[in-house]
Amino acid sequence: MTLFDVPLSELRSRTSSKWSRYPDDVLPLWVAEMDVAVCAPVVHAVSDAVRRGDTGYPSGMPYQDAFAEFAERRWGWSTTASRIRLVPDIMQGTVEVIALLTEPGDAVVVNPPVYPPFWAYPRHAGRRIVEAPLGPDHRLDLAALDRAFDEARADGRRAAYLLCHPHNPTGTLHTPDELRAVGELAARHGVRVVSDEVHAPLTLDGTFVSATTVIPDAVALHSASKAFHLAGLKAAIAVPGPEAEHLTHLPELVASEVGHVPVLAHATALREGGSWLDELLTELRAHRTLLAELLAEHAPAVRWTPGAATYFAWLDLRDALPGDPDPARALLRDGRLALNPGPTFGAPGAGHVRLNFATSPELLTEAVRRLASVLPA
């Protein structure tokens, strides 16, 4: 038995977004939900809380304490739990931190192709977006960042840089040297760094290093949601670097939007889910290898550079389906395969799709079969 031995009938009985949006003849490998069962300690913690009626408001710092222990144990990252703040989820927390660092009308720099809410949430908060695209190798382009920081600060207004680390959708894991160079560049321009690190526990190669460890005034956002399949139990934390004192000004009402049961679930995952997470990472590495082999055999025109983190494959179909800026439409229409459209990740996403390989080997194999069936012979 593996973590992904979940019957298709059970997956199709789920009413959350991944398995309910499309008809039953569509194979959905799109949104960031895994086809796994939640790890047993979390199931027990949530079930026990509901059984005992422990369903009131959060109290104390169980999430902060659990994360500090997890970060030290997993990455050797020493944090101070009392400085960590509870936030409703990653993107809401990001907006709250950006609100401390900037004013409406100020700029937020992003690196397309990147998670679509990186545009939506700052714009909803009245900020303007300045783009610094990743390089062709899917790594940070310091020259592009330099130009973007110049543009963001040209009128003397404040600016923030919203970093995705590890990067979604490419799976790129930024190195300490890259982060250090970003920090130096940001300091020179007077730009503050906010790092979305939700996929950190899903590092498949190498060791994750938080931006806050090399950029002292950065703020990182973390959550157990992606790594432990808990997106439906929203909770997250904002973790300040050693020189980022401004989180003391985060309004108390922000934490009041977090539910008690989600906090219990996330804290339990971080404290007791280590062996489950280790097994998950082993299986995801195997799925990544399998996907590369399947594409090479059945769809060699599809280009993919496997990332060092996340369970996403950023597939380049520009040679496979030339002239089609949004191949996800053809894959859905003709192959009954639902993947994330590349253009939603920004202009560099034209001709790309994002595939979620956190599913069973059988469904992954079927997905590539469907993808290949749409491509020209």
Interatomic CA distance for residues 88 and 238, integer angstroms = 10
Interatomic CA distance for residues 143 and 134, integer angstroms = 10
pLDDT value for 249: 87
Q: Order across the sheet with 128-131: list the strands.
A: 85-87, 236-240, 219-222, 191-196, 159-164, 107-110, 128-131
Helix (H, G, I), strand (E, B) or coil at 194: strand
pTM across the whole model? 0.97
pLDDT value for 21: 97
Interatomic CA distance for residues 197 and 376, integer angstroms = 38
pLDDT value for 184: 98
Q: Give 10-residue mean pLDDT values along the chain (377 residues).
A: 95 97 98 97 98 95 98 97 96 97 98 98 98 98 98 96 98 98 98 98 98 97 98 97 87 92 98 98 98 98 98 98 98 98 98 98 98 95
β-bridge partners, 309: 203
Say how many C-beta atoms besides its own lie within 10 A of residue 193's C-beta. Answer: 26
